[in-house]
Amino acid sequence: MIVLCAGPKGGCGASTLAATVAAGLVERGVAPHRILLLDAGPHATLSQWAQVAQEHGRTLPPVARWRPGCDAAALARGFEHVLLDGPAPLGRGGALPPDLWLAPVRPVGPDTWSLGQLRCTSWTGPRGRLRVVPWRVPPRAKFAPWRRALEADGFAVAPILARDRLAYAHALADGRLPTRAGDVAVRAEAAALGGYVLGWGAVDRTAQPKEAVCASLPRRLLH
């Protein structure tokens, strides 16, 4: 599985999402060395995370830094799951086309507005593989109306989420997988995410009804 973790704007949680998907896959029994975290993020967050882990003698799934000109497909060879942390164009044009694109979005106004940009992406891969992942959901937030508005605008929202929990930030700062931060809620969220990704890979998406991402801006959300 090639999973692109990229959101519509900076700081939306893409790197944390990639680390959490990795943790969730491990939680679901995937061997860490079968997972590659391919870091194309603007701030090299995952590479720095890996460096901290190394300094503390901790083991993470392998992290490779991708830079323009690198052969992403060559880096990905031999891995069962590749988690691309980076801007969408990495998966464009066949370099490493994602099977699934997870876009973390905080279910609050301004972050949601930027979703329109995902519609304008020049990624030419098959449509219907983009899933918005509610991310940094505030405690007790009721976000059903947000979900409905997004769906009415043609976005598919994944049935998983991560709440706003300091344990996510601490895990990365400590060079740990989020599931190793000692927070049971984070562990449960990561496991759900890992299960979702594995379930996605097991399903023949071509048999699914077309979930086209339409070409207009999300007007309902802009009003």
Is residue 20 within 8 Å of 66, Cβ to Cβ?
A: no
CA distances from 69 to 7, 60, 219, 223 (A): 22, 26, 37, 40
User: How many residues at the interface with Mg ion, by CB under 5 A?
Assistant: 4
| Spatial distance between the Cα atoms of 101 and 127, rounded to a whole number of angstroms | 10
Give which of 175, 171, 173 is closest to 54, Cα–Cα: 175
Pick from ligand ATP, Mg ion, none: which does 12 bind, CB < 5 to 8 A by kind?
ligand ATP
Q: Which of 2, 15, 87, 133 binds Mg ion (CB under 5 A)?
A: 15
What track of x and - describes contact with ligand ATP for positions 162 through 181 (by CB under 6 A)? x-xx--xx--x---------
10 near ligand ATP, judged by CB under 6 A: yes
Determine, following the binding rule CB under 6 A, whether residue 41 of this chain makes contact with ligand ATP.
Answer: yes
Q: Are the beta carbons of 18 and 115 closer than 8 angstroms?
A: no
Whichever of 42 and 126 has its CB closer to ligand ATP, that residue is 42
Q: How far is the CB of 14 from Mg ion (least distance, A)?
A: 5
Of 81, 129, 136, 176, the one binding ligand ATP (CB under 6 A) is 136
Contact pick of 41, 61, 91, 125 for Mg ion (by CB under 5 A)? 41
List the one residue from 1, 8, 13, 25 that touches ligand ATP (CB under 6 A): 13
Cα dihedral 47, 52, 54, 60 in deg (nearest 10): -60
> Between the CA of residue 131 and those of 66, 118, 205, 214, what are the distances in Å?
23, 11, 13, 14
CB of 20 to Mg ion, least distance (A): 13
